[in-house]
Structures are given as structure tokens and as C-alpha cells.
Chains A and B, each alone.
Chain A
């Protein structure tokens, strides 16, 4: 029997204003006993000061002074809660200001998105847009909490209709396995414990869903990718004499599994070698998998540096200088002002030129419409030429090695979140697209 140790699941929330996101997050923190006495005291005190009859759990997620004063959420906040088997990191993304920017940020690292829908309103344009962003960022799991079920009298037909509308949208977007749960964030039904008031619903509570989702893609079904962060070559400064001659390449495994003796290729040079050793400060390993940080020793003395990618020899990407990509524009200043940029892909930063704008994604229709330019929060299709070749691969298949940032060289601002190819296209459709 393998040891059971707690695992880590990263979540992002999404929802329109007033759908009950703060209440739901507060309820998850409260009912999973992640709220401590002094925090709860503060919430009860403030609720009383505001003349409320009971503690407003939404206050648990209150943040900065400006947010409290204006009653809005400005920025992504990170929350932590845990059950016996799992720890959760929740990126709490505000629903209105800078919606796309924040949700893209939260979704980029998420294993699962929890989207709120108001049972009285059903699927709105906003809902489609939230789901489209989750699909675009290839978040492995999407769970929809159909909230305020108490306000529709715990009615089965209303829930079934909303759930089936959601399934249709998810199908259009190619989102696999959409899970829906009827909840009342305010009263706690089906959030942590299953509710007797929805006896027609036989599925798990929201927390039960979150506790049993697989954390991420199984590394044993992925291709091995290892972006080199730096060379460890301590020479005279080595912590012990045995390591004076040591040379290892430090990095975090981006995907897949690596085993001593595996044949690998170093990109962009294309040199082949084998893995001579997998090291950690705790000792050598025979095998390691994503997302572990290790140092790799190679059998041959070849030139390897930061920015290189070590990949499985028989499934390696082709280094390219011309990219077809989908980006979310994050800057106030439009793209036209930034056609010369820095592109950061894994550990490699190179100069780049945006050679063409192909169009903007209409998130409502999920269609590309022609455009000359990209503005804040636009999702667009670009062609980019880089100064150095990069080991690019389609984001649809490789979330880590298919992602990049565009950065303004002068101000240092992050301009765009980039995904190579068309993340919404099914797997296999991308291959021909991208040397256009």
C-alpha cells in the first residue's frame, strides 16, 4: 500500500458580482474549520456594527482598506484551507473590475475552477464568458455551483434546466467533465455537507467534489519536459570535497517522468544524451516526476545553459522562431504601442516582434473577429517572430511549455499572457497551424 499523504489542489473562483462568491468562499473556510476564533470574532463584531442579524461570512474574504470602503474586490486574493486528505490554495478572483485579467491570472495555475451561477438567473452571457476563459486556459476541471437554490424553493426542475444549459455551453467550448452542484452558500446546503432539502440531488457536496478530483494530469501519461534554470557547478565552493567536479542542471520538471538512463535531447541545440543522475539535496533518485525540483546530470559533456529545454528524445518539440499564439492583453496601453517586446517562455527570455494581429476572440460567440489592435482584457490571435529559437509547443497539450509572457523591455510591465497555438482547438488540430 502506498502511503497516503495529503495532496495539494489549486482552485480559482469565478462568478459575476452578487452571485454569492464571497459568501461561498467564506462558507468553505468556515465550515472546513479554517477560520480561527479571532477572525470570526472580527467578522461578528463588524456584522453587529453594520446592524446585521447574523455574521456575514462574506466579510471573511474582505481585503484591503479601499476594498472595504468601496465594497468591491480589487485584486486576486489567495486563501488556504485544508481537510484531512487535501490542502487547498484558492485564488479568489474578483468578478468585475479587470475581470479577464484577474481570472486569467487565477486560472493559469488552477487545477480546478469553481464558477458561481445564480439559480434564479441561470446561464448568462457572463457565464459563457467565464467558461470560455476556463476552456482557453485549459483548466483541467470546472465545477459550477448553482447558488441561491434556497431562493428558488429548492426546486429540482429549475436546477435541472440550469445544469443542462451549462452542459450545452460546456460541450460547445470543448470543456470536458463539467460538474454542477446545487448549493446555498448562505445557508450551507451542499457546500460541505449534503442537504436534506435537495433530496432529489444524489451527487456529492461541493467540498466532496473538490476533495476527490485528481490533482493534475497524471505525469506518467505526459512527455518529459525540463526547462533548465541554472547550472550547479560549485567547484572550490562545494559543500564537500566529493562535489568539486559536480555539474548538474537545476530545474523543476514541467511535465512527465524522468528516469536515470533515459535518452533526452537538449533544445534548441538538438544534442542528444542520456540522464546520468537525478539529484536532490536529500540524495539521488532513480526516477522523478512533475512538478518536483531536481538537478539532472547528463552523460555527455555538452553545452547546456539557462533557457534550454531538456526533453524526452523521441517526443521533442521543434525549436521555432515564428509563432502563432493566443494572448490575453493585460496592459492599459494597446498592443500597437508595444510591437517590439520581450518574450518569456519557460526559463528563456528573448526579444520578439509582433508581426501580425489576426483578430480578437469574441468570448460570447467564441469566434475570432478581425481586429487591428488589442486593448486591455482583449483575447487575440497574434503572429510573433522571436530573435532566438524557442522550444515552443501547443498550449493545448503542454500547459507549462506552451505558455509565455510578453514584457515591455523599458517599463518591465507584463503586457500579455500568451498561449502557443489555439488552446480552444481540439488536440491534434494544432499541429499544422503554427508555422504559418
Chain B
């Protein structure tokens, strides 16, 4: 029999209590199954980042022994870490799922989007994302957002209704009661679904460790050529070149999030294994976004504004 039937002696009174990670896992699996049962065309946003990897892992568990019953969608900024793209393609092949890609580069090439002066492409993802959703008529879109990430996200529902512009209206959200999710929507509207809403960064790492989930290598400490900009360590690459005043040094680093390579910072770290990372995250003094995302530092409401426009 399987060792995962653990009976926990909760506060010493011999009750049957599910562990914290099992409770979160079961809640997420319930959400995946509800969406598949009630929506016609769900899709999972997949970047190869750890949250999307954990989502895919949970989806595979929810429908076992069947396949994952929906495709993946990658909004490709064109500013990728090569090892993340390679990981993405491996994961897709392994799970036997279909991958759709919408590329920011196509929009820049034909002039639908203009490159920003700061060169970052995270804010340019919204338009291709919304077009991808509309073109494929996706009605439920799984996102890896967590409520612990940021204060606008703290108010997000698990099912978040979006109008035909993809907009989030924080003042007019449906109340979410018990575990009864209301996914009714009108033609042209869709629902963003966040199965990891209640997970924290530490939970995600503990789960990755417990389940033995493989991640792109750059989540673990490695030697890399970096330069410092705005207090962040940026990798040297095709889209992130140091300016004359910025000197390149080789450091032992890892990434806490992966995104647009030109604005995603590395942190100095000795964490080579999952267990090391769990210890590091538990002890860390900076939020995930504060440490590594240049674009969220711009203003206190940066994320809120992007979400209202239909961002992830």
C-alpha cells in the first residue's frame, strides 16, 4: 500500500488530519477537475517557470490514468533563457500534451507592438495573450498566480471572470463561497483560474522536493556571468548587455523566477539542491518579486495596473 496515507497526530489528539501539502494538493486537483467538467476549452499557461511546472504536475495527477485533457499556451517574450525553452519542449513531449505558442516577436516584427524604451517585454505579453485566448476560443485559462506574491493578487479569486477585453475589475468580483465555484460566463468572456492561489513560494518548493519534480537548471545555484543594474544581477545574454559603466563578474547565482531575461535578476546563492532552496527560501528576507522583477519595482501599483489590462 502507498505510504502517502499519512495520519497526522494533529496537536496530539489523534484526529485524522491531512498534512498541509496534501490539503493544498487536493484543493488544486479539485479545481482542475471542476474546470474540465464545466468548461469547453480550457488551456494552461505554461512558461517552463516553476509555478507552471507545478500546475502541469498537478493537472497530470488530477486526470490520471488519463492524459492531461487540455493544451498548454506559452506567451513567448522572445527574451528567453535557452535552458527554459529546452525544458519546456522536454516537458511537453513527456506529458504528451499539445503546445500553442504566441510570440511577442511576431507582434514587434509586424508593428502591432512597439518595443519599449527600456527593452523589457513582460508588459508586452498582454496583447498576444488575449489574442491567443480569443483565436483559440479558450474559455478557461489556468494561470500559476499565487496570492502571496503581491498585494493586488491577494484579492484575486480562484475563478476570476474576464470581460472581452480580458480586464480584471477588482471592485466587481464574484464572491467565492465554500468550494462551490461559479464559472458561468457569456460568449467572449473567459475565466482565469488560479489553482495555486493558496500556495506560498515555500509551499511550492517543498512540494517540488516532495514530488521530485524536475525544473530548469537555472533554479539551482550555478556559475554565471552577470552585471549589476538597479541592485539586481542580470545575466549577460543577447538581450541583456552591460552598459559601459557596468562591469561583468562571474558569480554563483540562481533564479527565483524565470521570465524576460532582460529584466529578471539572479540572486547569489549556494543552493544546489531542492533541500538547499527550501532552506534558503524559508530564511530569505526578500519577496520573490521584490528580489527579481525590475518591472514590479516601478510603482506600488504596477501589478494591479497590468492585471486590470488583462495580464496574467
A residues with CB within 8 A of B: 1-8, 36-39, 42, 62-66, 68, 74-80, 82, 86-87, 89, 101-102, 104-105, 108-109, 211-216, 218-220, 229-230, 232-234, 237-240, 243, 246, 250-252, 257, 279-289, 291-293, 295, 306, 330, 342, 344, 346-347, 399-400, 403-405, 407, 409, 411-414, 417
A346 — which chain B residues lie within 8 A by C-beta?
A: 180
CB of B244 to closest CB in A, whole Å: 29
Task: Verify if B6 is at the interface (C-beta below 8 Å from A).
Answer: yes
Excluding A234-B66, A237-B67, 15 further A-B contacts by CB distance (< 8 Å) are A2-B6, A7-B19, A42-B300, A218-B15, A220-B15, A230-B36, A232-B63, A232-B66, A239-B64, A250-B63, A252-B30, A282-B61, A347-B37, A407-B182, A414-B174
| Residue among B2, B7, B37, B285 making CB contact with A284, cutoff 8 Å | B2
CB of B55 to closest CB in A, whole Å: 14
Supposing A63-B155, A239-B64 touch, asked if A282 and B2 sit within 8 A by C-beta, the answer is yes
How would you classify the secondary structure of chain B's contact residues: helix, strand, loop or mixed? loop
Task: Verify if B309 is at the interface (C-beta below 8 Å from A).
Answer: no
Q: Bound state CA distance, A66 and B304, in angstroms?
A: 11
B200 — which chain A residues lie within 8 A by C-beta?
A: 80, 82, 87
B30 — which chain A residues lie within 8 A by C-beta?
A: 229, 251-252, 293
CB of A101 to closest CB in B, whole Å: 6
CB pair A293–B26 under 8 Å, yes or no, is yes
Task: Verify if B286 is at the interface (C-beta below 8 Å from A).
Answer: yes
Task: Verify if B226 is at the interface (C-beta below 8 Å from A).
Answer: no
CB of B151 to closest CB in A, whole Å: 5
CB of A142 to closest CB in B, whole Å: 18
CB pair A252–B179 under 8 Å, yes or no, is yes
CB pair B286–A37 under 8 Å, yes or no, is yes
- Interface flags for B50-82 (1: CB within 8 Å of A; 0: not) read 000000000011111111000000000000000
Residue of B nearest to A403 (CB): B178
CB pair B18–A2 under 8 Å, yes or no, is no
CB pair A251–B175 under 8 Å, yes or no, is no
List B267-291 residues whose CB lies under 8 Å from chain A: 284-287, 290-291
Q: Bound state CA distance, A7 and B8, in angstroms?
A: 9
5 closest A-B pairs (Cβ-Cβ)? A412-B184, A234-B66, A38-B290, A243-B65, A281-B64
| Residue among A74, A257, A293 making CB contact with B16, cutoff 8 Å | A257
Q: What number of B residues sit within 8 Å (CB to CB) of A?
A: 74
Residue of A nearest to B9 (CB): A2
Residue of A nearest to B203 (CB): A87
Task: Verify if B25 is at the interface (C-beta below 8 Å from A).
Answer: yes
| Residue among A79, A89, A306 making CB contact with B37, cutoff 8 Å | A306
B136 — which chain A residues lie within 8 A by C-beta?
A: none
B304 — which chain A residues lie within 8 A by C-beta?
A: 64-65
Residue of B nearest to A68 (CB): B300
CB pair B178–A108 under 8 Å, yes or no, is yes
CB pair A4–B24 under 8 Å, yes or no, is no
Residue of A nearest to B61 (CB): A281
Number of A-B pairs, beta carbon distance below 8 Å: 232
| Residue among A7, A42, A216, A417 making CB contact with B177, cutoff 8 Å | A417
CB pair B37–A288 under 8 Å, yes or no, is no
CB of B97 to closest CB in A, whole Å: 12
CB pair A219–B290 under 8 Å, yes or no, is no
| Residue among A79, A240, A342 making CB contact with B154, cutoff 8 Å | A79
- Interface flags for B20-60 (1: CB within 8 Å of A; 0: not) read 11111111011001101100000000000000000000001
List B102-137 residues whose CB lies under 8 Å from chain A: none
CB pair A239–B65 under 8 Å, yes or no, is yes
B residues with CB within 8 A of A: 1-2, 4-11, 13, 15-27, 29-30, 33-34, 36-37, 60-67, 96, 147-148, 151-152, 154-155, 161, 170-171, 173-180, 182, 184-186, 197-198, 200, 202-203, 284-287, 290-291, 300-301, 304
Q: Bound state CA distance, A286 and B7, in angstroms?
A: 13
Supposing A403-B177, A412-B182, A414-B182 touch, asked if A291 and B27 sit within 8 A by C-beta, the answer is yes
B27 — which chain A residues lie within 8 A by C-beta?
A: 252, 291, 293
Residue of A nearest to B287 (CB): A36
Q: Bound state CA distance, A209 and B11, in angstroms?
A: 11
Q: Bound state CA distance, A243 and B301, in angstroms?
A: 50
Q: Bound state CA distance, A237 and B67, in angstroms?
A: 7
25 contacts between A and B (CB under 8 A): A6-B19, A7-B19, A36-B284, A39-B290, A42-B300, A63-B151, A68-B300, A74-B171, A75-B170, A79-B154, A80-B148, A87-B200, A213-B11, A218-B15, A229-B30, A234-B67, A239-B64, A251-B30, A252-B179, A281-B60, A281-B65, A291-B26, A344-B182, A407-B184, A414-B182
Supposing A214-B15, A252-B29, A252-B30 touch, asked if A344 and B180 sit within 8 A by C-beta, the answer is yes
CB pair A105–B10 under 8 Å, yes or no, is no
| Residue among B22, B37, B152, B174 making CB contact with A292, cutoff 8 Å | B22
| Residue among A79, A80, A250, A283 making CB contact with B4, cutoff 8 Å | A283
| Residue among B20, B177, B179 making CB contact with A6, cutoff 8 Å | B20
CB pair B154–A3 under 8 Å, yes or no, is no
B170 — which chain A residues lie within 8 A by C-beta?
A: 64, 66, 74-75
Residue of B nearest to A222 (CB): B16
CB of A6 to closest CB in B, whole Å: 4
CB pair A105–B176 under 8 Å, yes or no, is yes
Supposing A36-B290, A280-B2, A412-B186 touch, asked if A403 and B65 sit within 8 A by C-beta, the answer is no
Q: Bound state CA distance, A421 and B122, in angstroms?
A: 51
CB of A98 to closest CB in B, whole Å: 9
Q: Bound state CA distance, A4 and B184, in angstroms?
A: 41
Residue of A nearest to B15 (CB): A218
Supposing A36-B290, A237-B67, A280-B61 touch, asked if A75 and B178 sit within 8 A by C-beta, the answer is no
Residue of A nearest to B63 (CB): A232
Residue of B nearest to A246 (CB): B65
| Residue among B16, B23, B66, B301 making CB contact with A218, cutoff 8 Å | B16
Q: Bound state CA distance, A108 and B181, in angstroms?
A: 13
CB pair A82–B202 under 8 Å, yes or no, is yes
A403 — which chain B residues lie within 8 A by C-beta?
A: 177-178, 180
Q: Bound state CA distance, A50 and B250, in angstroms?
A: 42
CB of B89 to closest CB in A, whole Å: 20
Supposing A285-B1, A293-B26, A347-B37 touch, asked if A5 and B182 sit within 8 A by C-beta, the answer is no
Q: Bound state CA distance, A291 and B62, in angstroms?
A: 14
